[in-house]
A and B are shown apart, each in its own frame.
Chain A
Amino acid sequence: MMEGAPNGTSDKDRLTFDWYLDKVVQGLVFLGGISAIVLIVGIFVFITREGLSFAATQLDIIEFFSSPRWRPTSEYRPTYNILAMIAGTASVTGLAMVVAIPFSLGAAIYIAEFATGKTREALKVMVELLAAIPSVVWGFIGLSIMNPLIIELFDVPVGLNILNAGIILGLMAAPIMTSIAEDALKAVPDSYREAAEAMGATRLQVVLKAVLPAAKNGLLGAVLLGVGRGFGETMAVLMATGHSINMPDSIFDSVRALTATIAAELGETAVGSEHYQALFTIGIFLFVITFIINLLADLVVRGVRKG
């Protein structure tokens, strides 16, 4: 909100070039502003447009979500059901969160509450750089470094599995979650810390009893965004999960994620075919889920600012 800005109505008698220019620019930046809304609606419209006729006519919603059979190339009767891939995505994301949540919260607490001066700056820069590593590089790391490591350590035939992708995804999500969690901790007013210290609390007690409870919504938001990130990650899980459509029994099973299925199969399908439309239907599902996760994260974080 720009309090006190000239609104251009009081000097209407001076219809100079600058007055018009001001209005034109205002219109242009407004277009820029609404572009984000136009684009997000556009994404939904265009993926729905490609997937709709399949989703509306041939799709049995209950079977789609409850059967693990994804057999798009079967000559006898192709089936398009995604339970096995949901299980794949969920197991990999779940393991990633088990890896990422404790470490990123611990790191965020250390950086925000304990580290000082140069150490803090250095750690923050490190975390930021870690977050920048492209996902295809992470996938390559899963393929070429983690894979032989897992085969050797656990004596299993294949190292491309839930464990591999979960750890890779955890390492990928942790820096982002650390930054957001650190922001949430920084947003807690210093008066909370001072009040607790004045009561004789040690640094640790201040953090555990005063700062963490006050920041819990922001921290929950960080976790949610991490989950959303894991859910939507494509290249790394494509390369590290082993790529077989399975209901997993253990973390050493190979699986396939929803995102990876689209990435692996879209290139081989004919535009407009049933298989092509089924892949877009998965896209609609992914869009809706991540939209809900982001919305929830936003609501949770905003809750803390108002309170």
Chain B
Amino acid sequence: MFGPAEYNIRNERTERLWRILFLVMTILLIIPVLVILATLIVKGGPALSWEFLFDDPKDGMTKGGIFPALVGTIWLVTVALLVSVPLGVAAALYLSEYAPDNLFTRAINLAIINLAGVPSIVHALFGVGAFVIFFGFGTSILSASLTLAIMTLPVVIVATKESLQAVPYAFREACWSMGATRWQTIRRVVLPNAVSGILTGIILEVSRTTGETAPIMFTGAAFFLPFLPEGIFDQTMALSLHLFVVSTQVPNVPEHLPYGVALVLIAMVLIMNSASIALRIYLRSLKKW
């Protein structure tokens, strides 16, 4: 007797229809990528072996493995981190703990957004103009890593700033009331409570740096080198550039080889990102406040 009115039933139907539409859109966004990942695994999987990871490229890069590219990527990422982590953490400390709310701070934030938004190839041009030519580092790991560090700096800054700001304000006030200076407060109270959040940001940065290609093309990464780098002034191969090279520049590459390189690269990136996300979720569950 008191069943829903005609109007309500119609409403409920549209409601369900739209809800499903939004869900379908979400799924359509994810499905192509899953298909692509599956293809990479199916076609690249057979290429993977210990020899593939630990052998030099052979026969004009049509055979052999990717060892020098792996080592080169580790060099590039390590040197880039040594620059970007201290700089990024300092910038985040300033923005979170010191910066007044004024136009200058807004300019810094805008600069960070732009640093993240400048096309990667423009970062490459900057690397060439500044590090390779002006500072005279030549095409070297140093030039390439500095370029990568600047490009990925916003990742560290944003992640660090967020984890610093997640530390409750009362913690700082309590410490100041005890007569501690600002730095003592940061050192003893803020940083210890934020350090794991900063770590997740650093893992994300490693992942970003690993995958970047354009910024290193002209600043320090080489198509092919018969030896491993010995210092930061050497050139090096890199995994991301190696994928570009074997899939576009080298003739007669067997199909499984670039698929194998792509699979290794994407596996490294996704594993690091998953680790970062897992760490973040775990840390959130530990929070007592």
| A interface, CB within 8 angstroms of B | 1-2, 4-6, 8, 18-19, 21-22, 25-26, 28-37, 39-40, 42-43, 46-47, 49-50, 102-104, 106-107, 109-111, 114, 121, 123, 125-130, 132-137, 139-141, 143-145, 171, 174-175, 178, 202-204, 225, 228-229, 231-235, 239, 259, 262-263, 266-267, 271, 279-280, 283, 286-287, 290-291, 293-295, 297-298
Contact = CB atoms under 8 A, between A and B. Distances in A.
A130 B212 contact: no
A298 B110 CA distance: 8
Interface in B206-233: 207-208, 210-214, 217-218
B274 A129 contact: yes
**From DSSP, what is the main secondary structure of chain B's interface residues?**
helix
Contacts of B98: 2, 26, 29-30, 33
A122 to B, nearest CB: 10
A106 B25 contact: yes
B244 interface: yes
A1 B259 CA distance: 50
Contact of B117 (A5, A143, A294): A294
Given A132-B207, A136-B244, A232-B118, A18 B269 contact: no
Contacts of A121: 281
Interface of B: 11-12, 14-15, 18-19, 21-26, 28-30, 32-33, 36, 39-40, 86-95, 97-101, 107-108, 110-115, 117-126, 128-130, 133-134, 150, 153-154, 157, 172-173, 176, 180-186, 207-208, 210-214, 217-218, 240-241, 243-244, 247-248, 255, 258-259, 262, 265-266, 269-270, 273-274, 277, 281
Contacts of B243: 136-137, 140
B117 A125 contact: no
A34 B108 contact: yes
A287 B19 CA distance: 41
A2 B214 contact: no
Contacts of A130: 29-30, 33
Given A33-B91, A104-B29, A144-B255, 12 more contacts: A5-B176, A18-B181, A18-B184, A35-B87, A42-B126, A42-B130, A132-B208, A137-B262, A171-B32, A234-B213, A259-B121, A295-B110
Contact of A144 (B117, B214, B247): B247
16 contacts: A6-B181, A22-B183, A22-B184, A26-B183, A42-B130, A47-B125, A107-B25, A130-B30, A133-B266, A133-B270, A134-B269, A135-B211, A234-B213, A235-B244, A259-B214, A293-B117
A2 B97 contact: yes
Given A26-B182, A171-B32, A134 B117 contact: no
Contacts of B213: 134-136, 234-235
Nearest to B117: A294
A279 B121 CA distance: 11
Contacts of A43: 118, 122-123, 126, 150
Contacts of B110: 294-295, 298
Contacts of B88: 32
Given A6-B181, A232-B118, A129 B125 contact: no
